[in-house]
């Protein structure tokens, strides 16, 4: 039977980086999702049962799109086992698919997430064994089907991951540079900046080019999932290949190939510039983004107006002497104050001490998590 496509609507949860939940909710609503509710690290919403095809293809800031299967109270291991076993798993995917269960638990009687994942896995394989006499294998590294379990104050939610590998892996960045941003976070920064594609965009420490490539994908109306070849939903029973092919075809037709403004990246490292150029070619946006080698001390973005985005080294993930970091930020401050009048700048800072060297007062601060690093996206108006 598989997944029930006749349902009036399905309940979803899309995950994202902390700080981007509002942006993601806006994306989901624009795509047709309803009743969005923001939670830490994600957005729950309702949509039609086939919505995950469009969601996985089009959402720029989502890391995963989870489809809710069941909710129940699980104060004991037995209740957890029975609740998970009540889901008709053999209807949802073939027994030959390899599975992985991920669990997150908080403020609950069951306090060990590994134990919870193990118990849920037992319930799933037992349900298969009872029906078919055989069970699916577990593969924690490259599973075909990922199952998510969340237990919050003893309330358990069981979901199927329709994305598979995290959606930030768009497929254009074969060789991510040191300290590269997640593609989903980069897209979120572009969207937070409010860049509308009408004014030039620049990044003076572009690294692998992620911010500008994501901006070019937005400006050309390119669905971010178009380069990916594999998604979790392809392993589900009843996968609607025709509908998926049609969704992809429509997205290909929607790509705009003209009318894109100047998008320019630079970096002190010539190797980073070559990598960014390769990535832009792979992403299909090399006609719209140019990259060059240039030190921040020589950087000038050109005539205003425009938006400058930058994810400078923090001195946390990249090795660098303290003085070098301070000198970079001083150089950035000079470039902003002296050579970027009439521009707006958005700097993602994970190092408040270093940020002080910019010597300007931010007009807005958006809290954002960059992996484990607590960051602020700082907005500067350069009059
Ligand atoms: C955190 S990385 C940027 C990563 C980029 N946002 C991405 O997602 O790929 C910081 C970049 O600053 C560059 N950088 C360091 N010192 C610089 C300088 N003095 N002038 C220009 N770029 C510099 C590094 O080469 C590195 O690529």
Answer whether 12's CB lies under 8 Å from 52's CB. Answer: yes
- Is the same domain home to 314 and 206? yes
Counting residues of the chain whose pLDDT is more than 90, the rounded percentage is 91
Domain span at residue 89 reads 10-161
* Number of domains the chain contains: 2
3 state SS of 381? strand
Q: Are the C-beta atoms of 308 and 300 separated by less than 8 Å?
A: no
pLDDT exceeds cutoff 70 at 1: no
Please check whether residues 41 and 107 belong to one and the same domain. Answer: yes
CA of 146 to the centre of ligand 1 (A): 35
- Ligand 1 atom showing the smallest separation from residue 276 Cα: 9
Q: Convert the pLDDT of each residue in 81-94 to its tens digit.
A: 999 999 999 999 99
Same domain? For 191 and 278 the reply is: yes
Edge-to-edge strand order for the sheet containing 306-310? 289-293, 263-267, 201-203, 306-310, 343-349, 373-381, 364-370
216 and 365, same domain (yes or no):
yes
8 pLDDT more than 80: no
Going from the Cα of 207 to the center of ligand 1, the distance in angstroms, rounded, reads: 5
Q: Contact 60/189 with Cβ under 8 angstroms?
A: no
Q: What is the number of the ligand 1 atom nearest to the C-alpha of 317?
A: 1
CATH of residue 211: 3.40.50.150
Query: What is the Å distance from ligand 1's center to 313 Cα?
Result: 6
pLDDT of residue 132: 98
Q: Which of 382, 348, 309 is nearest to 20 (CA)?
A: 348
Question: Is residue 37 scored above 70 in pLDDT?
Answer: yes
Cis peptide before 176 (omega within 30 of 0): no
Q: Does the beta carbon of 328 lie inside 6 Å of ligand 1?
A: yes
Please tell me the distance from the alpha carbon of residue 69 to that of residue 88, in angstroms, as a whole number: 10
Are 290 and 142 members of one domain?
A: no
pLDDT tens digit sequence for 237-264: 999 999 999 999 999 999 998 888 999 9
Q: Assess whether 269 and 352 both reside in one domain.
A: yes
What is the rounded average pLDDT for all residues in the chain?
Answer: 95
Ligand 1 site, residue 207, Cβ cutoff 6 A = yes
In a shared domain, residues 25 and 78? yes
Contacts of 242 (CB under 8 A, 6+ apart): none
In a domain, 245, yes or no: no
Structure tokens, 64 = 């995963």
Task: Give tens-digit pLDDT for 212-241.
Answer: 999 999 999 999 999 999 999 999 999 999
**What are the beta bridge partners of residue 309?**
346
- Per residue in 347-363, pLDDT (tens digit) is 999 999 999 999 999 99
Percent of the chain at pLDDT > 70 equals 96
Do 208 and 286 lie in one domain? The reply is yes
């Amino acid at each position: 039977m598989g997944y029930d496509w006749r349902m009036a609507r399905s309940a979803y949860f899309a995950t994202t980086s902390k700080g981007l939940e509002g942006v993601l909710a806006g994306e989901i609503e624009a795509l047709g999702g309803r009743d969005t509710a923001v939670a830490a690290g994600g957005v729950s919403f309702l949509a039609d049962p086939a919505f995950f095809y469009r969601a996985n293809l089009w959402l720029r800031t989502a890391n995963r799109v989870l489809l809710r299967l069941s909710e129940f109270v699980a104060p004991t291991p037995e209740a957890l086992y029975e609740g998970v076993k009540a889901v008709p798993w053999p209807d949802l995917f073939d027994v030959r698919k390899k599975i992985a269960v991920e669990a997150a638990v908080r403020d609950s009687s069951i306090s060990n997430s590994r134990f919870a994942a193990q118990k849920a896995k037992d319930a799933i394989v037992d349900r298969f064994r009872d029906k078919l006499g055989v069970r699916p294998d577990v593969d924690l590294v490259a599973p075909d089907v990922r199952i998510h379990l969340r237990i919050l104050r003893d309330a358990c939610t069981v979901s199927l991951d329709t994305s598979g590998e995290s959606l930030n892996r768009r497929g254009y960045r074969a060789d991510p540079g040191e300290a590269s941003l997640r593609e989903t976070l980069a897209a979120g920064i572009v969207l937070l900046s409010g860049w509308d594609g009408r004014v030039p965009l620049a990044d003076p420490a572009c690294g692998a080019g992620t911010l500008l490539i994501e901006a070019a994908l937005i400006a050309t109306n390119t669905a971010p999932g178009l380069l990916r070849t594999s998604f979790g939903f392809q392993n589900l029973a009843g996968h609607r290949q025709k509908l998926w092919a049609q969704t992809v075809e429509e997205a290909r037709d929607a790509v705009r190939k003209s009318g894109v403004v100047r998008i320019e990246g630079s970096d002190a490292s010539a190797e980073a510039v070559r990598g960014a150029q390769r990535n832009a070619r792979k992403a299909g946006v090399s006609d719209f983004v140019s990259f060059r080698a240039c030190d921040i001390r020589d950087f000038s973005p050109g005539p205003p107006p425009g938006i400058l985005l930058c994810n400078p080294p923090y001195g946390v993930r990249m090795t660098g002497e303290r003085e070098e970091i301070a000198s970079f930020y001083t150089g950035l401050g000079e470039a902003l104050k002296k050579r970027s009048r009439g521009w707006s700048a958005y700097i993602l800072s994970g190092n408040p001490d270093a940020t002080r060297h910019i010597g300007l007062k931010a007009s807005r601060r958006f809290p954002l998590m960059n992996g484990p690093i607590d960051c602020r996206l700082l907005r500067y108006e350069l009059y």
